[in-house]
Amino acid sequence: MPTSIETPPQHPARSGLGGLIARATGLLKRHASELIRFAGVGGVAYVIDIGLFNLMYLGLDWSYWYAKIISAIVAMTVAFFGNRHWTWRERRGSAAAHRQYALYFFFNGIGLLIAMACLWANSGLAQVWPQYFDNELAVNLAANFFGVGIASVFRFFAYRTWVFRHPPKLTEALENA
């Protein structure tokens, strides 16, 4: 009776992790130019957001809640035009700018809520540990590092999925007509 050589079973955690890393690497390679453009537009908007936030919060002594809301709205408007005309310019198609801006504003509203949640968490922590969380640095880190960072990941996927979609192909458009 011939014996077959069996390969030892692979450890499921290793093959799963290797597959996950390979998939993540493939995604990064496929979307690298898009990510770079998104980061460039986001970088400009981020500087505007931080600058306005600190001008209003530290320079004009506004509440950090209002300062964050105003700075985020201005930065999001700048980012909209940058993303529409540079990051996803090939996806503009015939979609109306006002429709895209409405969706963009909606998803940025969710992003703003994420940043506000980070501010809220910081204010709660300031009640418990005021020596660490009740200062300008902690407020800036909560709003402009954690809040903007987490919200940016959400916004990237929301923008590319729902706001700046690929225009329908001609055959799809003809089938739907």
pTM above 0.75, yes or no: no
- Is residue 24 included in any domain, yes or no? no
Measure the CA–CA gap between 112 and 129, rounded to whole angstroms.
25
Structure tokens at 62: 């506004």
- Is residue 5 included in any domain, yes or no? no
Task: Give the pLDDT band (50/70/90) at residue 84.
Answer: confident
Task: Write down the pLDDT at residue 169.
Answer: 62
- Is residue 23 included in any domain, yes or no? no
- Is residue 58 included in any domain, yes or no? yes
Task: Give the pLDDT band (50/70/90) at residue 71.
Answer: very high
The string over 2-38, giving b where at least 16 C-beta atoms fall within 10 Å of a residue's C-beta and e elsewhere, is: eeeeeeeeeeeeeeeeeeeeeeeeeeeeeeeebbebb
Number of domains in the chain: 1
- Is residue 151 included in any domain, yes or no? yes
Domain of residue 139, residue span:
33-176
Measure the CA–CA gap between 123 and 119, rounded to whole angstroms.
6
- Is residue 13 included in any domain, yes or no? no
CB 104 within 8 A of CB 76: yes
Measure the CA–CA gap between 163 and 174, rounded to whole angstroms.
22
- Is residue 9 included in any domain, yes or no? no
- Is residue 108 included in any domain, yes or no? yes
